Amino acid sequence: MARGKLRIYLGAAPGVGKTYAMLSEAHRRIERGTDCVVAFVEHHGRPRTEVMLHGLEQVPRQDIAYRGSTFTEMDVDAVLLRAPAVALVDELAHTNVPGSRNAKRWQDVEELLAAGIDVVSTVNIQHLESLGDVVESITGVRQRETVPDEVVRRADQIELVDMSPQALRRRMAHGNIYTPGKVDAALSNYFRPGNLTALRELALLWVADRVDAYLTEYRSEHHVSAIWGSRERIVVGLTGGPEGQTLIRRAVRLAEKGAGGQVMAVYISRSDGLTAASPKELAVQRKLVEDLGGTFHHVVGDDIPAALLDFARGVNATQLVLGVSRRKSWQYVLGPGVGATVARRSGPDLDVHLVTHDEMGKGRGLPVARRARLGRPRVLSAWLVGVLGPVLLTLLLTGAAPDAGLANDMLLLLTLTVAAALLGGLWPALASAVAGSLLLNWYFTPPVRTLTVADPENILAILVFVGVAVSVASVVDLAARRTHQAARLRAESEILSFLAGSVLRGETSLDELLQRVRETFGMESVALLERESDVAPWSCAGSVGP
């Protein structure tokens, strides 16, 4: 049986018209021939709401005795027996009377949805569990009846019932919400203009985030890669360097200029771990961006500019904030830098801001792309030492010390080969060994200026030279590969530890966790499988992506 669909009318405060809107929806559906019943609606003595109940079938409520009094609650069994297409259930966050089938009304609604019944319900923004502390700080009232945010987020449709504070206070003054004896107290306490404005802003922002989630889901399903600038989203590219805090604050100021602006800080770590930043510095920057209302993201990617742009387009960002490179001037011969490369590739739909800071030009920088585990500058140096070095050394020896002896010449050339191996690994060292052996044969092994070797001992010496060079190069290359593997495992373990910590601290739901894993490792989809025992079949606990 297919699960029913949930539609929620969300309001900023009591009296904005959620129940009235829900009942109007019921009348529209009945006119279209839909089997719709009232499972539980409370009109609170409001005449206009009570009139809207006329013409709607109401499922009889259940009477429950508690502490010498009788209370009425929704009769879940009666609704399930009636099995309508649509059931109206008011006040989703309501706490049922002890002795009821479930402790909370939203749990009753879950049963109806599981039975394939569509449900239309209502809830106020102050009843969302995550906003309890915020609402208490605004109104001074602690909400005892709450509903988990995830229950509301899972709704198939959420409609905001909006009303300006002035209009709501007029409704209150006219007696359309509370009885005349409660109006003055309500207007001077909970329904003050400041309170209502703050609650309205909470509701608008919460719904905007939910709409944003729908948009992200649509873009993913339809493989939309172009940026839709429906909202200012600013991505801050962090390197883990001390300039990160400057970039975060600059991005937050940019976000404040646009209503509803959002800041997302992202750190790109290479899969080989060679550009790993200080965990302590990243922790400080993560706390700063979260304290300022942004989010922190950790992504694995070998091509840093491409990873930054992929992340920015994936979250539908409109602006990208990067720091001016810390590289010294001479280092730009190795490449234009991450900032310049990102700006060139960004296209017209993504603005790139290069922010100056105190650390620029002081050194550290790395090239844009790295094609080897040891890094391009290091490998380039190895090729220069291994190939050009023997040539220059040979010219020096033939000109300044022509009688140094074959053994000394061989040791000097071997030194360059070992240096090439230490810098660049196997291939530069092999090239150095070949170049060194040819130069030894041509310039220092009789008969000179030929590739012929007259003395067998010289042949053995050249072979030993090549063998030592290859051995040293192999050891260095093996050490580099082991370092690469260890660094990658370290990077992955740090990321997984961060994700697990978010769950343990209650900061992340399962879907958000899976989405973060998908984002971090650049996967199309992620699924979490579970089973009760080693022989039980696997079941899907959650998944994200197409």
Confidence category of residue 75, pLDDT binned at 50, 70, 90: very high
* CATH 3.40.50.620 domain extents, the chain: 233-355
Q: What is the pLDDT of residues 121-161, one digit of tens each?
A: 999 999 998 888 888 888 888 888 999 988 998 899 999 99
Q: Per-residue pLDDT for 15 more than 50?
A: yes
Q: Per-residue pLDDT for 36 more than 90?
A: yes
In 53-125, which residue ranges form alpha helices assigned H by DSSP?
A: 76-82, 105-114
Pick the CATH number of 6-221 from 3.40.50.300, 3.30.1490.20, 1.20.1530.20, 3.40.50.720: 3.40.50.300
Phi–psi pair at 65, nearest 5 degrees: -85, 135
* CATH 3.40.50.300 domain extents, the chain: 6-221
Tell me, yes or no, if the pTM score tops 0.85: no
CATH 3.20.20.80 fits 233-355, yes or no: no
- Tell me the range of 52-56, 230-234, 396-400 where mean pLDDT is highest: 52-56
143 vs 490: CA distance, rounded Å: 44
- Reduced to 3 states, what is the DSSP secondary structure of residue 519? helix
| CA dihedral of residues 201, 202, 206, 209 (deg, nearest 10) | 50
Any idea which of 139-148, 215-224, 438-447 has the lowest mean pLDDT? 215-224
Q: For tokens 């001992």, what's the residue?
A: 457
- Confirm if 105 and 94 have CB atoms less than 8 A apart: yes
- Confirm if 304 and 239 have CB atoms less than 8 A apart: no
- Confirm if 229 and 349 have CB atoms less than 8 A apart: yes
